[in-house]
Amino acid sequence: MAVIHHTTLTPSKLELLTAWLPSRPWYRGGAAQPRLARAGGFRLDDPRGEVGIEFAVVTDGSGPRPITYLVPLTYRGAPLDGAEHALVGTMEHGVLGRRWAYDGCQDPVSIARLAALIEGRAQAQDQGVSDLPDPEVVAAYTGAGAIPTDFTTADDHEGTALTTPDGTTLRLHRVLRPAADGPFVPAQGATGHVGGPWRTPEGTRARGLFAVLHPNTRA
């Protein structure tokens, strides 16, 4: 179980993301600096209790219309070997000291726990309260066997694709779009998905897909 410390972070998570988001190919903002606000998200527990895992949802209000992004992050007490390219930044935590924040799509602990969530072996946790499940984050899996986690990560204009050697692909929707009311409807042929809610700038509640799993295409 992750323990949520209500303390200071320097720089803040939003400050780190303000500098990092414009470097991503899926960022839709213009030349202006992002103007970010928290819009929701959830956490996953690391069974070893070593890595903080957060799937943050933030809205950028710098452009002519707000754009909402899904930003998985992991927080570590030491650098992750070989992951310099995935580093979002470092910050000083008021309780835990220096923390290294990484793109969660490129952290093996985060990816393993996301697969466990889709399979039903893990439960989404409230973003700000320790040991409190978040029932509004839903996951489903209709595949057979364990989801492979030997993914290669690639960002593109549409989001992030995590692909295994056999072609299994877990696609994260970085730019979030509200879904119609009712059950989540992933793309045809998908074998798993994760979806949940977030807050709009108007203060209303939206919900949509966060990630979709597609089966291997090379069998």
* Position 163 in a domain: yes
The residue count for the chain? 219
Q: Higher confidence at residue 42 or residue 3?
A: 42
* Position 219 in a domain: no
* Position 4 in a domain: no
- How many structural domains does the chain have? 1
Model pTM score: 0.93
Q: Higher confidence at residue 187 or residue 160?
A: 160
Average pLDDT over residues 127-143: 92
* pLDDT over threshold 50, residue 219: no
- Which residues in 17-135 belong to E strands, given as ranges? 36-44, 52-60, 67-76, 87-93, 97-103
* Position 1 in a domain: no
* Residue that has been written with the tokens 């303000």 in this structure: 18
Average pLDDT over residues 83-87: 96
User: Confidence class of residue 51 from pLDDT cuts 50, 70 and 90?
Assistant: very high
Q: Which residue range(s) make up the domain with 122?
A: 9-214
- Half-sphere exposure for 152 (CA within 13 Å, toward CB): 5
Average pLDDT over residues 127-148: 92
Q: Residue 69 and residue 59: Cα distance in Å, rounded?
A: 6
pLDDT of residue 218: 54
